[in-house]
């Protein structure tokens, strides 16, 4: 009985990942490249439609892929995958070449909850002031200026709420700030 090409490729990939996992501080760029190239070989065999690929081997590939993803930090401590991608030039669908470390959030983004909470508090205060002013003006005999003031304040409160609390509102504010040439952070 002949050996299935995928079986041979999976064994190579499994051995390369085992070496990667046990290398620790002695991990080298060559070992990392061996894992990535072994994964390329698996993908080439899977993409070959003339070959039968048993489900058990596909499941094994999935298990090995999970093990590879767990090694992302170790890989990124040794090599910069962006540099390797420039040499190899893999397709974007080959995710194993894209195991870059996650980008940390800018420190200002950690306080988004605070700004949203403050916006809600000020909008609540503005809405209650609008209602209070409307009641006072209407009870003392309203004139056109009083009604215009109430309507204007109500419209501004609604626009502010829409800008602060909805995605289209935020996009509108961003567009407005961009037209004023205020740079994004």
Taking Cα atoms as reference points, which of 48, 40, 122 lies closest to residue 88? Answer: 40
Angle (nearest 5°) at CA 58 between 56 and 61:
115
Query: Can you give the pTM of this predicted structure?
Result: 0.56
Whether 163 and 173 have beta carbons less than 8 Å apart is answered as yes
Whether 170 and 157 have beta carbons less than 8 Å apart is answered as no
Distance CA 111, CA 117 (A): 10
Per-residue tens of pLDDT for the chain, all 185 residues: 467 888 899 999 999 999 999 988 899 999 999 999 999 999 998 888 777 778 888 899 999 999 999 999 899 889 888 888 888 888 889 999 988 777 776 776 677 778 778 877 887 887 787 778 777 777 777 677 777 777 787 777 777 777 666 777 777 777 877 888 877 66
Angle (nearest 5°) at CA 16 between 12 and 22:
145
């Amino acid at each position: 009985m002949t050996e299935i090409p995928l079986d041979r490729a999976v064994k190579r990939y499994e051995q390369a990942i085992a070496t990667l996992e046990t290398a620790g501080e002695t991990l080298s760029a060559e070992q990392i490249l061996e894992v990535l190239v072994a994964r390329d070989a698996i993908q080439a065999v899977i993409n070959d439609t003339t070959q039968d690929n048993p489900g058990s081997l596909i499941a094994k590939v999935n298990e090995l892929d999970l093990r590879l993803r767990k090694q992302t930090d170790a890989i990124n401590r040794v090599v910069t995958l962006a540099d390797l991608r420039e040499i190899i030039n893999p397709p974007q669908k080959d995710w194993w070449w894209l195991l870059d470390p996650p980008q940390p959030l800018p420190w200002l983004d950690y306080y988004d909850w605070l700004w949203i909470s403050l916006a809600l508090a000020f909008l609540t205060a503005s809405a209650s002031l609008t209602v209070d002013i409307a009641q006072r003006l209407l009870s003392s005999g309203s004139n056109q200026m009083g009604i215009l003031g109430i309507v204007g304040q109500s419209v501004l409160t609604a626009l502010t709420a829409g800008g602060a609390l909805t995605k289209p509102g935020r996009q509108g504010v961003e567009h407005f700030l961009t037209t004023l040439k205020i740079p994004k952070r």
